[in-house]
Amino acid sequence: MKCATHLAKHIFLTIVLLFSSLLFGQGNKVSLSLRAVDSAKILITDATIIAVDSKNQSYIQLTNDKGEVIFSLTPDNYTIHVNHIGFQHEEFSVSLLGDLSREIVLTPNANILEEMIITATESKGLTSTSVINRQAMEHLQPSSFTDLMELLPGGQAKDPILTSVNPVLLRENGSSGYNTSSLGVQFMMDGNVLNSNADLQVSSNTTSGPLGKTSHIGIDMRSIATNDIESVEVIRGIPTAAYGDLTSGLIKINRKVGYTPLQARFKVDGFSKLYYVGKGIDTKSGWRLNASVDFLDAKSEPRNVLENYKRVSASLRSEKAWTLNDTELVWKSNLDYSGTIDNDKFDPDTGFDRTDSYKNSKQYFSLGNNLQLNFPEYAVFNNVKLNTYISQGIEDIKGSVFVQQSGRNAIPISNETGVNEGVFLPSSYVSNYKTQGRPLNINTTLQTTLGFVTGGISHEIESGIEFRYSKNNGDGEVYDPMLPPTLGVVKRPRPFKDIPASQLLAAYIGDRMEYDLGAHHLQLYGGLRMSKMLGISKDFSISDRVFVEPRVNFQWGLPEVKIGNDFLKTDITVGYGELYKQPTLALLYPQDRYFDMAQVSYYDPQNDNYYAQFYTYRMSLQNQSLIGAKNIKREIRLDLAYNKHKFYITYFDEKMSTGFRDMTQFMGFEYDRYEAKDIVWNDELGRPNLDSSTSTNKQVMSQYSHTENGSNTFKTGIEFGYSSPRFESINTRFTLNGAWFKTTYSNSAPILHRPGLSVNGQEFLYAGIYADDNGYRRSSLVYNLVVDTYLPSLDMNISASLQGDLFRRDLNLNRVAAPYAYIGIDNVVHEYTEESMKDPMLQHLVRNVSSTDGMEKRTPFTFNANFKISKRIYKSVKASMFVNRLFTHYESYTFNGVKVNRKDDSGPYFGMEINFNI
């Protein structure tokens, strides 16, 4: 009992002493309450407030949602520091002897507000270039590179279509079948060319799969993730001579290098989900390292789980600089992986067999090494660059299809011209097919830049040599020839590895000159690029051609004119350039075409007797006259700048008359046809005795196509843009851009057409040769007004994009109904005359021409309102969301006497994301 009483006393004494010490400690603490506001008394959250005492001890807190912090401090003299991304730094001292409350009024940081740019900016350089920075990309909330096209002049927001190819189009409205424009846009990432010249992928089953053909369109923008991109330059005008094998433009992508916090991004919208993690570090030894991984999962529409697209990207990047005797060596290295998968499975409830499926997967492993030697300022040479890049692709199309025949059909199996026996296919079967591509691309560039001054003119001369190698080492289309995935025309696949490599050698030189003539500032760039394809047979005309591409840009900076308290700055820029895009492997070396005429098709199921015989003609579809597509660019631009107001307007004219085009051709054949009822079966021979059977002479005219330089793409237009300063009173900037595009698509080579009719039960055996095909002229005037407001107290960015068409004009060009020549079964070209029109057979070559040809479809005003918001909800967390087409208006119009009322049937499209920076 005594022990218990003694223990209780000790516990009581301990509690009293502890409580007393707490009271004593509390008595020495005082409260410092601070509240951060702006000049309009709006509370500022997430401001960092640091209190430093006389012993240099720091106490840090962030303002809460009421803009307040409360410190419990020992009485002392304190220096208070206040920091916020959108406001100027504030510093003051307080002598804290008792509880104190104080309001801090922060001043907006005008420079930071001005630098908050969420739209593409127009470069004032020697050529028309749009620059998209990281802020603009974050606010746009893209899923792939396709979304960035909205920021260009003439661009508009579009719902993503990630289950089909996304080609890039610059300065045009677009029309199917004219792919040279997208093929002629060159992509570069971290100084290395993304080359698609060895893409030969084509599906063996032409009746299924979202991507029956992926070649001929250039880079698929879906495959490029945007999370690691620091900036993008879209050169729509005339690039320097250092860039070639392009016609439409150049897109330069620069990725993050160096320290970044651990970043994570999660985005979801109506069609896709995106996940990203990345980190950058700077080591003490000078290495700068970045690593990231990205995953995208998209569907054609939310309820369709059978058709989807997946993208996986991973990147490891490094940079290191060494200095020796005033000379700096910089080494940048990039190791990248990119994988995409298109899936298309068929629902058995829709009538397809459950075996039908389609999968298109592409994987690329690439390694880039860029060395740059920077010389001191007093040296003549500025730098020397050596860039090497190697990319290995693993491309596979795999599918299965259930084939059901109405009867028993036979197919030929011979690969050579002549008479051959065929085999009968099962009445139904499952065909498994695949296309295996292994594209290898190697690029090497050596460039030097030197600078000097002569006669007051400063020169910066760039010269270099470039080599590009492209080869596909895949097996090509692979399937059981006895179980083909499609009926009708029977292909004989060839291995891709048998196709020669594409080798392009180029050399260039260019001089950028600057000169000040009084108050006039003059800049002139003149460059020349020469290129030649190597390793091509002398049978091709391109083998002996050296393609010469002159490039000239001139800018005149006029004297500044004082208006009011500021100066008006004016620049006038003109340019001219010739650009070539060389044919890809798929264009130079198409697969041979086989014409198979069934001479005998005998099947007697009762006696189990069957026999098939074909006459096969093998034709090479190589066009040995094919050359590079040439585009001639001209442009003139006016830039005005006054008191942070910026305006530009550009007129451009581009003419490409040698674009690549699949041209329809016809060839006549004669062969002997044995009808089943006339066939005499010979049991000893085990096949029909054709010598004892009667036959009839048959004539057919078969269709095929090959590639020619047969397309016209003429672009004319005006691009314009205006951006205001950010008005401090409302923290708002106004940006207007738009474009008037007029694009004409037509054929530049004669086309052939055969009426789809029969005369007296016989096949029509004539094809007309016409001067014009279906041609189009598309024009539009597009506007995009962006109003963006940054609220620094909330660290929130809000924008409204008001965009649409002021008008759109679509015209099908007039066609001449009658041909100027024709060919018959003899494969000889004949002139089409007045007498031909009276011929009972040849009169059918006068084709029907649509009554709407030459009739312009005029579509009036459209309006779409899109909204985006980004808010930092914690110092390391930012949430964003967007809504497209929240408000819409589509004005009605009349075409061909019919009034058309329009409305937006798709409704608003929205998404949201959250970003972590830890």
Q: What is the pLDDT of residues 491-550, one digit of tens each?
A: 888 999 999 999 999 999 999 999 999 999 999 999 999 999 999 999 999 999 999 999
CB 885, CB 908: distance < 8 Å: yes
> Which of 493, 490, 400, 492 has the alpha carbon at shortest distance from 201?
493
Share of the chain above pLDDT 90, in %: 63
pLDDT band at 207 (very low <50, low <70, confident <90, very high): low
| Coil, helix or strand at residue 198 | coil
Mean pLDDT on 164-190? 90
The residue ranking higher by pLDDT, 295 or 43, is 295
The amino acid present at 22, given as its one-letter code, is L
Distance CA 579, CA 658 (A): 12
DSSP class per residue in 481-546: TTS-SS-SSPP----GGGSPPEEEEEEEEEEEEEEEETTEEEEEEEEEEEEEEES--TTSGGGG--
CA distances from 70 to 64, 99, 457, 469 (A): 10, 10, 63, 66
Beta bridge partners of 2: none
Residues, the chain: 918
Residue 67, φ and ψ in degrees, nearest 5: 75, 20
Number of H helices, E strands in the chain: 6, 53
| Coil, helix or strand at residue 347 | coil
307-326 residue pLDDT tens: 788 999 999 999 999 998 88
Q: Is the model's pLDDT at 292 over the cut of 60? A: yes
Burial 579-618 (b: 16+ CB within 10 A, else e): bbbbbbbbbbbbbebbbbbbbbbbeeeeeebbbbbbbbbe
- Parallel, antiparallel, or unpaired for β 185-189 and 249-255? parallel
The amino acid present at 501, given as its one-letter code, is A
What contacts 898, CB < 8 A, 6 or more positions away?
Answer: none
CB 231, CB 131: distance < 8 Å: yes
> Which of 474, 540, 466, 545 has the alpha carbon at shortest distance from 505?
466
Q: Is the model's pLDDT at 209 over the cut of 70? A: no
> Which of 442, 387, 484 has the alpha carbon at shortest distance from 194?
442
894-903 residue pLDDT tens: 888 888 888 8
Q: Which helix (DSSP H) or strand (DSSP E) does residue 182 occupy? A: helix 180-183
Q: What residue ranges define each of the domains in the chain, with the CATH number in brackets?
A: 2-107 (2.60.40.10), 129-917 (2.40.170.20)
Mean pLDDT on 89-101? 88
Please give the pLDDT value at position 22: 38
| Coil, helix or strand at residue 136 | helix
Q: Is the model's pLDDT at 735 over the cut of 60? A: yes
Burial of 677 (0-12, 13-18, 19+ CB in 10 A): exposed
Residue 838, φ and ψ in degrees, nearest 5: -90, -10
Please give the pLDDT value at position 26: 43
Q: Is the model's pLDDT at 338 over the cut of 50? A: yes
> Which of 721, 758, 714, 755 has the alpha carbon at shortest distance from 738?
721
Q: Which helix (DSSP H) or strand (DSSP E) does residue 838 occupy? A: helix 834-838
| Coil, helix or strand at residue 250 | strand
pLDDT band at 88 (very low <50, low <70, confident <90, very high): confident
pLDDT band at 299 (very low <50, low <70, confident <90, very high): confident
154-163, 224-233, 356-365, 679-688: range with lowest mean pLDDT? 679-688
What contacts 847, CB < 8 A, 6 or more positions away?
Answer: 753, 755, 768, 770, 815, 817, 818, 819
> Which of 646, 665, 593, 589 has the alpha carbon at shortest distance from 623?
589
Q: Is the model's pLDDT at 296 over the cut of 90? A: yes
Residue 854, φ and ψ in degrees, nearest 5: 80, 0
DSSP class per residue in 370-410: EEEEEPPTTSSEEEEEEEEEEEEEEEEEEEEEEEE-SS--E
Distance CA 9, CA 402 (A): 92
387-398 residue pLDDT tens: 999 999 999 999
Q: Is the model's pLDDT at 349 over the cut of 80? A: no
Kindly state the tokens that stand for 123.
């470069």
Mean pLDDT on 248-273? 93
Distance CA 558, CA 569 (A): 7
390-449 residue pLDDT tens: 999 999 999 898 888 887 889 998 999 999 999 999 988 999 999 999 999 999 999 999
Beta bridge partners of 458: 453, 514
Q: Is the model's pLDDT at 210 over the cut of 50? A: no
pLDDT band at 354 (very low <50, low <70, confident <90, very high): low
Q: Is the model's pLDDT at 681 over the cut of 90? A: no
Q: Is the model's pLDDT at 289 over the cut of 90? A: yes
Mean pLDDT on 867-881? 89
CA dihedral 824, 828, 830, 835 (to 10 degrees): -40
Q: Which helix (DSSP H) or strand (DSSP E) does residue 910 occupy? A: strand 909-917
The amino acid present at 779, given as its one-letter code, is S
Q: Is the model's pLDDT at 93 over the cut of 50? A: yes
CB 849, CB 815: distance < 8 Å: yes
> Which of 108, 94, 120 has the alpha carbon at shortest distance from 31?
94
Kindly state the tokens that stand for 589.
């070396």
Distance CA 164, CA 395 (A): 16
Please give the pLDDT value at position 849: 86
Other C-beta atoms lying within 10 Å of the C-beta of residue 790:
22
837-850 residue pLDDT tens: 999 999 999 998 88
What contacts 856, CB < 8 A, 6 or more positions away?
Answer: 809, 810, 811
| Coil, helix or strand at residue 750 | coil
Please give the pLDDT value at position 750: 93
CB 257, CB 278: distance < 8 Å: no
> Which of 48, 53, 58 has the alpha carbon at shortest distance from 74?
53
Whole-number average pLDDT of the chain: 89
Distance CA 767, CA 752 (A): 6
Kindly state the tokens that stand for 499.
């196709």
The amino acid present at 460, given as its one-letter code, is E
787-836 residue pLDDT tens: 999 887 778 889 999 999 999 999 999 899 999 999 999 999 999 999 99
CA dihedral 220, 224, 229, 234 (to 10 degrees): 0
| Coil, helix or strand at residue 732 | strand
Q: Where do the DSSP E strands lie in 300-380?
A: 307-324, 327-345, 357-374
Please give the pLDDT value at position 212: 40
Q: Is the model's pLDDT at 635 over the cut of 90? A: yes
Please give the pLDDT value at position 685: 83
Q: Is the model's pLDDT at 1 over the cut of 60? A: no
